[in-house]
Structures are given as structure tokens and as C-alpha cells.
Amino acid sequence: MKKEHFSVYNHSLVYGNNRIAVRKFIVLNHTDGTKTFTDFHRFTGNPNRKIKSFNSDGDKRCTYICKFLNYAFFSVGISSLSELTLDTGQKFINAYAMHELPEDDEYTKRSESTIDFCVSYIFDFYTNLATDKHSKCHFKLSDLYRHISVRNKYGKVVLKKVPLFNVEYIPSYKVPIWWFCCKDEKHKYLMSPKNRLMFIKRHREPCLYCREQRRKLNHFIDYYTQRKPK
């Protein structure tokens, strides 16, 4: 039986000359198969864009927010958005970046650009909550980020929003290199630093031989030490 979880519901509207507009809603899926519509989609938009096109489908914001809501409601244990805290958002972002969410496994991989999108969408969600009069949240915009002066590509000084906490993520070093096992020096395995760091963060054994995924040992001959002198 599936557990309760939030998901995105796509509703198609036909207007004009047989044109179709897709609107995204966030629904709560119950264990008996029924769905409950929520108004959480109101807080997923870009706060800097007050006017939104009618045929805008909300891009991928709702997907990221649903993952965050599942973490906040079913992992942390909040019962309403008024109980949402900044600490919950910070823990989710770091867990998302470090591949430590409850549904993540050893094959979960996220790029740095995907993490940047997630951070941006979560902060927009918090910003919309803070500016809404009926959300009853207990945080302010000044608690989310600070403004720093930077120059854009045209040389003009503009204000940039910077989060008040650092986001930790696994570096994307994808080139595999050879590693020596800490338990047995005979075990030499090929793995990228990114994948090995994920195993260590999840307290799992990175060695392929200790995990019984390899049987035949790799033997190396040191060319410089084995070479006969002339």
C-alpha cells in the first residue's frame, strides 16, 4: 500500500480555437487512492513576476516543491505550512544536494545546476509564504537572505540575493580513478570521487570486492621497478 504523498496534478483546459492550456496543481494522495486538492501551487511561482501568462504551465517548480513538501510533512512531521521553519528548508536543501533524502539510493545523482534550481525554487516558495498575509508563517524576508552589491554583465551595480546559509553538495568529479581498499590492500577498484564520496556519506562500503560485486582481482606491475637495468 502506498503512503500518503504530495504530487503534481496536470489539468488541461481547452480555450479559444481548440487551444490547450495545462495548469499544475499540488494534490495530496491518500492511501485509499483518493486525492485532495491543495492551494499550495499559489506559492510556487516566481515572486518577481506578478503577471503570469494564462497558458503558462508552471515549468518544473511544482515538482521540486512536492519533493520538499513530502520531506517537510512526512519526514519532519509538520501538519500545516504555518509550522514551516527555515531550519526545515535548510535541512532539505542540504539533504537534496548530498543525496540523503529518504527516497535516495546509491544510484541517485544530481548535477550542480539541478541543485541550483532547487535552491532557487525553495527560496521563492519561502518568499511567497512570507509575503502572503494569510500564510501565518513565523519568518520574515530578512531571515531568508541578504542583499549584496554586484556588477552585472553591463557593468551596472545591482543587488543580488544571497542565502544566509551555505549549501553543501557533492562535487561532480566524474572521472574514475583507482582506489585502494582500507580493509585489504589487495583490493583495487575503479570509481569516480563523486560516487565514492556518496558511499562514504551514506556509511556504505565503497570497495567493490568487499561488497562482492567483483571477484577477479586486478593485478598491477610497476614498470619502473620491474624494468631491468641496461
* Residue 200 contacts residue 206 (beta carbons within 8 Å): yes
Residue 68 to residue 36: CA distance in whole angstroms: 18
Find the helix packing angle between 112-131 and 61-70, rounded to 10°. 80
Residue that wins the pLDDT comparison between 228 and 149: 149
C-alpha count within 13 angstroms, C-beta hemisphere, residue 45: 17
Which residues are CB-contacts of 135 (< 8 A; sequence separation ≥ 6)? 43, 81, 82, 129
Cα–Cα distances (Å) from 170 to 38, 115, 204, in that order, read 34, 10, 16
Q: Which sequence spans correspond to the domains of the chain?
A: 5-163, 177-226
pTM of the model: 0.70
- Listed in sequence order, the DSSP H helices in 30-148 are 61-70, 86-97, 112-131
pLDDT of 167-188, one tens digit each?
A: 776 666 667 778 888 888 778 8
pLDDT single digits (tens) 137-155? 888 877 887 888 888 888 8
